[in-house]
Amino acid sequence: MKVAWAGSRHAVEVADRMACLVASDPVFRKDTRTMLSRKELFKDTLKKAAHAWKRTVELHLTEEEANLLRLYIDQPGYVDLHWVMFVPAIKGQGTEEQQKKWLTMAYKFQIIGTYAQTELGHGSNVQGLETTATFDPSTDEFIMHSPTLTSSKWWPGGLGKTSTHAVVYARLITEGKDYGIHGFIMQLRSLDDHSPLPGITIGDIGGKFGSGAYNSMDNGVMRLDHVRIPRDQMLMRLAQVTREGKYVHSDVPKQLLYGTMVYVRQTIVADASRALSRAVCIAVRYGAIRKQFGSKAGGPETQVLNYKTQQSRLFPFLASAYAFRFVGQWLKWLYTDVTQKLESKDFSTLPEAHACTAGLKSVTTSATADAIEECQKLCGGHGYLNSSGLPELFAVNLPACTYEGDNVVLLLQVARFLMKTVSQVASGKQPVGTTAYMGNIQHLMQCKSVVNTVEDWLNPAAIKEVFEARALRMAVNCAQNISKAPSQEEGFSELSPDLVEAAVAHVQLIIVTKFIEKLQEDILGHGVKEQLQKLCGIYALHLIHNERLGKLYAQVRPNAVALVDAFDYTDHYLGSALGRYDGDVYSALYKEAWKDPLNETVVPDGYQEHLRPLLKQQLKLSRL
């Protein structure tokens, strides 16, 4: 089952090695993280990142191993933005020459970069960004400026205190004309003493939701006061400005400007499956240990995992963890395929890649955030403790519903893609890829449900047809209602809640389809495929609230712990007293409690100043 989850024996081996490397290194301890102040936590992040780099160099780790090392350190920090956004942005939007110059320094960590797009006043609406980059032909420079308070760059990870450079997105103005948003490489801080360069006001935007969590990251604010940069620091793969100041757009779609976001959205789907699997691992293992109430005759109490309500709340998340894992593996293939096509100027699958990455990022992160919160509740009071690992897991993964694109905004992008496809089908064009099912419109608009028993629901063809019919009918219904509106734009706006639902149905069809396709592969291990088939049935059935789920839950219950053990997480990475592999929950909870700084003294700080006088005074009053 480990191989089915990881994707290959090699993946299992590398993951095990990196997870153990992190778990065995005291520098990477994380059990006291939620007890640190914001400054201590930030400094701890710097220490871990520097140590990780040192180990990467010492051990000659590959890129795959280094990424896994960062992942198992499990502490958001500036390195995430450097590797996940700054480097990809230069790769995707820089010329060969610019890549050679800047990536050489970035790969050697001679500079630390971030991705500075969002502003105080605009995040979702990229075309609304206000920062300006005005070309000055007299000096062959761009003047980077924050014209308004709302144009302050706001949120970029690492910008606050760490990054020395950034790809800054700004309105390109030359010869008095505004050509819209383009990317520019800017140095922000001195490489000698790390002080901000002249004209740059920069700092952290303040504490964020949850203790520990994203507070390890210095999300920043930056204002630019007419800062000059050389013309050749405009990322010029998509467009150029000549020495004379002429704007020249290259022959690639302008949407490639958004390429970095597409890349990160596809990685976030894998992140979501990992976060969800961690929460499910904790809740399933604890549910097998925790016993509450038993037979009236004083017999042994019942494992809470045996309760049908616990199973109906938890097993859809177990199924979703596997579903998101498999669709994330497919999405990585899709992204690689699109990127290769772009190299040969084949832009035909760019819209599909945008719709799939936007839709899958949105659906998987929303479901994961909701599931982690429910897993906290599934663990009762102990799920609320930091030592359960669940509060921090929730706090780190909740913002994924917003960063890299607000989930509703992204679903509306999917809806726009679906409406375009429906109109193309109406004009006789055969849809391809993930919308190919829309070509079967006659059948799917009339077909009656062919599933009646639980066994029917384990028939992949039946499941797929039901999800295709559901998605198509919702999309066609939206298209028909939009056509009745005074204009396409007005109709789209009025119908936007329904369009979001139609987009979700389309994305869930993709997830179910990829789960089914995974089951058609050769899957190692005795009985593994059968278990995955049941999980596929649970994932599909729970989305349409089918009453036959109970039978499937009963069939999965005996293997539930084995199915989460297959995620192969070390206790260090899981970071949970409830989800420990050895199940020694109560002694672990008790031991963790005493680590809290509040327990450093038996009489708490503040007693002498505030508590003693109050108690003494009340005692005196009571004797009057």
Ligand X SMILES: Cc1cc2nc3c(=O)[nH]c(=O)nc-3n(C[C@H](O)[C@H](O)[C@H](O)COP(=O)(O)OP(=O)(O)OC[C@H]3O[C@@H](n4cnc5c(N)ncnc54)[C@H](O)[C@@H]3O)c2cc1C
Kindly identify the residues of this chain, within the stretch 58-97, that bind ligand X according to CB under 6 A. 81
DSSP 120: S
Residue with Cβ nearer ligand X (44 or 404):
404
Please enumerate, as own/partner, the contacts of 59-63 that have beta carbons within 8 Å and a separation of 24 or more: 59/21
CB of 363 to ligand X, least distance (A): 15
User: Which of these, 114, 498, 513, lies nearest to 326 by C-alpha position?
Assistant: 513
Closest by CA to 402, choosing from 362, 447, 371, 436, is: 362
The site partner of 467 among ligand LEDWP2DD, ligand X, none (C-beta below 5 to 8 Å per kind) is: none
Work out what residue 258 binds among ligand LEDWP2DD, ligand X, none; the CB cut-off runs from 5 to 8 Å by kind. ligand LEDWP2DD
Shorter beta-carbon distance to ligand X: residue 330 or 394:
394
Task: Give every CB contact of residue 162 below 8 A, 6+ residues apart in sequence.
Answer: 46, 77, 78, 112, 114, 218
259 binds ligand X per the rule CB under 6 A: no
Lookup: tokens for 590: 């008790």
**Closest distance of CB 63 from ligand X, Å:** 21
Q: How far is CA 447 from CA 423, 444, 461, 505, in A?
A: 21, 5, 13, 17
User: What track of x and - describes contact with ligand X for positions 384 through 423 (by CB under 6 A)?
Assistant: ---------------x--xx-xx-xx--x-----------
Binding ligand LEDWP2DD (rule: CB under 6 A), the pick from 30, 33, 48, 70 is: 70
Residue 222 to residue 152: CA distance in whole angstroms? 6
Stretch of residues binding ligand X (CB under 6 A), selected from 151-159, 196-204, 306-314, 433-441: 151-159
Give the residue with the Cβ less far from ligand LEDWP2DD, 48 or 518.
Answer: 48
219 binds, among ligand X, ligand LEDWP2DD, none (CB under 5 to 8 A by kind): ligand X
Minimum CB separation from ligand LEDWP2DD for residue 78, in Å?
Answer: 11
Is the CB of 220 or the CB of 351 nearer to ligand LEDWP2DD?
A: 351
Instruction: Using the rule CB under 6 A, give the single segment among 76-84, 285-293, 507-515, 606-614 that binds ligand LEDWP2DD.
Output: 76-84
Nearer to ligand X, 135 or 403 (CB): 403
| Residue 389 touches which of ligand LEDWP2DD, ligand X, none (Cβ within 5-8 Å per kind) | none
Between the alpha carbon of residue 416 and those of residues 210, 331, 489, 491, the distances in Å are 35, 20, 11, 12
408 is a site residue for ligand LEDWP2DD (CB under 6 A): no
488 in contact with ligand LEDWP2DD (CB under 6 A): no
Taking contact as CB under 6 A, which single stretch among the options 382-390, 402-410, 463-471, 472-480 is the one that binds ligand LEDWP2DD? 402-410
* Complex with ligand X: residue 359 or 405, whichever CB lies closer: 405
Q: Is 183 in the site for ligand LEDWP2DD (CB under 6 A)?
A: no
Does the footprint of ligand LEDWP2DD cover residue 404 (CB under 6 A)?
Answer: yes
Q: How far is the CB of 351 from ligand LEDWP2DD (least distance, A)?
A: 6
> How many other CB atoms are found less than 10 A from the CB of residue 88?
19
Which residue in the set 28, 403, 467, 553 belongs to the binding site for ligand LEDWP2DD (CB under 6 A)?
A: 403
> Which one, of 426, 413, 409, lies nearest residue 479 by Cα?
426
User: Which region, left, alpha or beta, applies to residue 301 given φ > 0 means left and ψ of -120 to 50 means alpha?
Assistant: beta
CA distance 245 to 242: 5
CB atoms within 10 A of CB 147: 11
Would you say 65 or 119 has its CB closer to ligand X? Answer: 119
Residue-level length of the chain: 624
Distance of alpha carbon 141 from the chain centroid:
37
Q: Is 125 in the site for ligand LEDWP2DD (CB under 6 A)?
A: yes
DSSP class of residue 178 equals: E
Query: Looking at residue 228, what DSSP letter applies?
Result: E
Nearest to 509 by CA among 543, 551, 535: 543
88: number of CA atoms within 13 Å, CB side?
20
Nearer to ligand LEDWP2DD, 127 or 487 (CB): 127
How far is Cα 73 from Cα 94, in angstroms, rounded to an integer? 30
- Rounded-to-integer distance, Cα 311 and Cα 304, Å: 9
* CB of 399 vs ligand X, minimal distance in Å: 4
88 vs 94: CA distance, rounded Å: 10
408 binds, among ligand X, ligand LEDWP2DD, none (CB under 5 to 8 A by kind): ligand X
Which residues between 117 and 146 bind ligand X (CB under 6 A)?
Answer: 117-118, 123-124
Q: What angle do CA 523, 526, 528 make, to 5 degrees?
A: 50
Q: Which of 404, 490, 521, 592 is catalytic?
A: 404
Cα separation, 77 vs 216, whole angstroms:
6
Between 25 and 530, name the residue whose CB sits nearer to ligand LEDWP2DD. 25
Residues of this chain, 168-207, that bind ligand X according to CB under 6 A: none
Measured in degrees and rounded to the nearest 5, phi and psi for residue 169 equal -95, 125
Q: How far apart are CA 551 and CA 566, in angstroms?
A: 23
Q: Does the annotation list 118 as a binding residue?
A: yes
Answer with the entry of ligand LEDWP2DD, ligand X, none that 214 interacts with (C-beta below 5 to 8 A by kind).
Answer: ligand X
Closest CA to 280 of 210, 213, 374: 374
Compute CA 384 distance to the chain's CA centroid, rounded to the nearest angstrom: 23
CA 316 to chain centre: 20
130 belongs to the catalytic site: no
User: To the nearest whole angstrom, how small is the minimum distance from the Cβ of residue 187 to ligand LEDWP2DD?
Assistant: 20
> Residue positions in the annotated binding site for FAD?
118, 157
* Chain contacts with ligand X (rule: CB under 6 A): 81, 115-118, 123-124, 155-157, 214, 219, 399, 402-403, 405-406, 408-409, 412
* Chain contacts with ligand LEDWP2DD (rule: CB under 6 A): 70-71, 74, 76, 80, 84, 115, 117-118, 123-127, 157, 255, 258, 261-262, 264, 267, 271, 350-351, 354, 403-405, 409, 413, 416, 420
Active site residues: 404
